[in-house]
Amino acid sequence: MNRLQATLHDSLVEAERHLRVIPRNIELLIFATIQPIMFLALFAYVFGGSISIPGFDNYDQFLMPGIFSQSLVFGSAFTSIGLAEDLSKGLVDRLRSLPMSRSAVIIGRTVSDLVRNLLTFGVMLVSAFLLGFRFGGSVTDALLATGLLVLFSYALSWVQALIGLAVSSVEAANSAGFIWMFPLTFVSSAFVDPSTMPTWLEAVANANPFTVVTNAARSLYNGLPVGNDAWLSLAWSVGLIAGFSMIATRKFSRSTSS
């Protein structure tokens, strides 16, 4: 078995270890699912009647892809919290004593969180359909939109991995992992058209990679022309994964080398 195969094998074993915890801590999955459902219902019923978006018959068709994007991004925070918890409990020290790839510890964590995000997304999608959301495009377009959202979420898991390795406690990881996601998701096109914002804020929202990903998913879900947003979304995700996976892996190696 070569080095790459060994790393992949160890990563899958680590991911399986984290996923086995879910049935024994089902409350965590339930609460992680309730929050996005609350966002779906609150925005749809509280703001749905007062917000009109040009080009969309109803606000739900504009809103739901934004909620999907936000919830998957918020789900990436489990990576920073999980890594910080493993470090604080000394679990990583025990893994270091085993003949396994060090990078597999982080890869396994990000993969397990990706699977948990997919489970949450499935529940959200069913809830959105119950609230009136419908695919305006083909099933292929919907799958492509979902793939772009999930890939971006996985990319941000690597950002969260670096945060989890950089802070000194689980509490700090929880705060640091969420605080930057609120401006990322709200100063965007997730809930309103950026053209309604002040000029300077509109420019920030349009340059936000979260806006690019959300616009691409929204267009594909609704059967609208996607333009370059799909390729830009892919580029952002791949770039974030490439950059932060390298930085996080080096950080992990340094933090566990002593």
pLDDT (tens digit per residue) in 99-137: 667 678 888 889 988 988 888 888 888 888 888 889 998
At residue 254 the predicted structure's pLDDT band, cuts being 50, 70 and 90, is confident
Range with the lowest mean pLDDT among 125-134, 142-151, 200-209?
A: 125-134
Q: What's the pLDDT at 209?
A: 95
pLDDT at 49: 65
Q: How wide is the angle at C-alpha 156 spanned by C-alphas 154 and 75, nearest 5°?
A: 75
Q: Which residue has the higher pLDDT, 95 or 105?
A: 105
The arithmetic mean of pLDDT across residues 179-208, rounded, is 92
Candidate from 60-69, 74-83, 94-103, 192-201 with smallest mean pLDDT: 94-103
Q: What is the pLDDT of residues 211-220, one digit of tens each?
A: 999 999 999 9
**Mean model confidence pLDDT for the chain:** 85
The pTM assigned to this predicted structure is 0.88
3-state secondary structure of 98: coil
What DSSP string runs through the chain? --HHHHHHHHHHHHHHHHHHHGGGGHHHHHHHHHHHHHHHHHIIIIITTT---TT-SSHHHHHHHHHHHHHHHHHTHHHHHHHHHHHHTTHHHHHHTSSS-SHHHHHHHHHHHHHHHHHHHHHHHHHHHHTT----S-HHHHHHHHHHHHHHHHHHHHHHHHHHHHSSSHHHHHHHHHHTHHHHHHSSSSSS-GGGS-HHHHHHHHH-HHHHHHHHHHHHHTT---TTHHHHHHHHHHHHHHHHHHHHHHHHHHHT--
pLDDT at residue 203 tops 90: yes
* Dist CA 18 CA 13 (whole Å): 9
When pLDDT is cut at 50, 70 and 90, the band that residue 98 belongs to is: low
Kindly report the number of other CB atoms within 10 A of residue 189's CB atom.
Answer: 25
Read off the pLDDT of each residue in 28-48 and give the average, rounded to a whole number: 74
pLDDT over threshold 80, residue 199:
yes
How many angstroms separate the CA atoms of 220 and 14, rounded?
Answer: 34
Report residue 24's pLDDT band, with 50, 70 and 90 as the boundaries.
low
Residue 118 token pair: 């997919």
Tokens of 190: 């997730």
The residue ranges of DSSP E strands in the chain, in sequence order, are none
Average pLDDT, stretch 163-189?
Answer: 87
